[in-house]
Structure 1
Amino acid sequence: MSRTTWARGVAEGLLAEALPRRWAHVQGVARCARTLNSMLGEDAELIEIAAWLHDVGYSPSLVRTGFHPLDGARYLRDEVGVDEVVCQLVAHHTAAAVEAEERGLAPELEEFARPAPRLLNALIYCDLTAGVDGSTVDVDERLAEILTRYPPEHVVHRSITRSAPILRDAARTVSRSLAGWSGEVRGV
């Protein structure tokens, strides 16, 4: 069994039945990750694995802090023994440092080193160009959708509002790299 097949199975087991909409999104994120293979080279498998696993912390069986990047990364590190870089990507995906600060969990997030920007940007790009149903969306559409789910005073709304420029920049960076490979810009 390949490592990506294994990661898919872990995510499916934790999300498909309990959170089918989240599972649909994760499938879209992983599908996007596969489109980055030529750009990522030897890191392509790592990003696809992280794409499959990035939202496992939403699983009701894993919730400890209520902050899914941290809950997922701790589970993957402590219970499953996943590669350190994958755990870092899960912990820090989609500007998690901003939300950790908003939640008062910044010291806890520091358990995980920040991964290389090239890798983190790739995962951010995939996360922000996959809609809730797994369809391909543009970054602004995805950010707006997230904001509609939470009232302005909610920690997620505040975090996404604060981190939106960082997230857009990460997605643009990947999109430009992709344009160099394929001649077109997607999702930004």
Structure 2
Amino acid sequence: MTVVDVQQAHELAASLLQENLPRRWAHTQGVAACARRLTVVVKDKASLLETAAVLHDIGYAPPLVATGFHPFDGARYLRDAQVIDSRVVRLVANHSFALLEAEERHLHTELADEFPLPDDPLLVDALVYCDMTTTPDGESTTSEKRIAEILSRYGADSMVGRFIRRAAPEIHASVDRVRAAADAAGVML
């Protein structure tokens, strides 16, 4: 499938996640809904944000797993098998401070070389906000509760646990910046 718009991104993500990973699909739908609420904040980049939001976790889909690191696997799939804006691919690859987890997985150099960080800090922060304020079941939460949930699911000393503890200050800072931008735009989050 060639992804050229938000609707096609939804169709692709649904085809990969809905049946095989229904909880991941629920999370994805919640992240996409959050992205739509940030339209006034990200303005003309709203479709980029929603597209990245709906595709951010496709790397969990069994047919796409290559390295076992979902941001990398999803981005590689989008780059290699799809026609999609490279900014979306870079957002998927780098969502929620993936470079920090890539260090834990010894994939930092490969991820950074293949998918440089996007050059739009607000868009990067907005995707962090959406991902890290949405529960696995697609409900809204705080970044503090989301991080606690991740730690309880994976364990504090696991690879993901080590990553999320390192990333927590950056995640909270991203969430705070998006809230400040929303306040400035008159949007209630």
Pair in the same fold by TM > 0.5: yes
Question: Counterpart of 1:113?
Answer: 116
Flag the 1:183–1:119 CA change in 2: closer, same or farther, 3 A: closer
Query: 2:14 & 2:134 partners in 1: Cα distance?
Result: 17
Provide the C-alpha distance between the structure 1 equivalents of 2:132 and 2:156, rounded to a whole number of angstroms: 20
Aligned to 1:171: 175
Q: Partners of 2:88 and 2:180 in 1: how far apart?
A: 24
Counterpart Cα distance in 1 of 2:45 and 2:4: 15
Shift of 1:181: 1.7
Q: Among the aligned pairs, what percent are the same residue?
A: 48
Question: Alignment length, in residue pairs?
Answer: 185
Q: CA deviation at 1:153?
A: 2.3
- Give the match for residue 85 of structure 1: 87
The residue that corresponds to 2:53 in the other structure is 51
Please list every run of at least 4 consecutive aligned residues from structure 1 whose deviation after the TM superposition is greater than 2 angstroms.
Answer: none
Contact 2:4 2:84 in 1 (8 A): no
Give the alignment of 1:135-150 within 5 angstroms.
135-150=139-154
Q: CA RMSD in A?
A: 1.3
Query: Structure 2 CA distance, aligned partners of 1:180 and 1:41?
Result: 13
Q: TM-score when scaled to structure 2? A: 0.95
> 1:133: how far off?
0.8
Matched residue SS, 1:18: coil
CA deviation digits over 1:47-103, x for unaligned, max 9?
000000000000011000000000000000001122100000000000101000011
Q: How many Å separate the matches in 1 of 2:23 and 2:45?
A: 28
Query: Which whole-Å CA distance do the structure 2 matches of 1:163 and 1:22 have between them?
Result: 21
Normalised to the residue count of structure 1, the TM-score between the two structures is 0.95
Counterpart mapping for 1:14-163 below 5 A: 14-110=16-112, 111-115=114-118, 116-163=120-167
Q: CA deviation at 1:183?
A: 5.8
CA 1:83–1:2 in 2, change beyond 3 Å: closer, same or farther? closer
Rate the CA distance shift 1:2–1:82 in 2: closer, same or farther, 3 A: closer
Give the drift of 1:152. 2.3
Unpaired runs of at least 5, structure 2: none
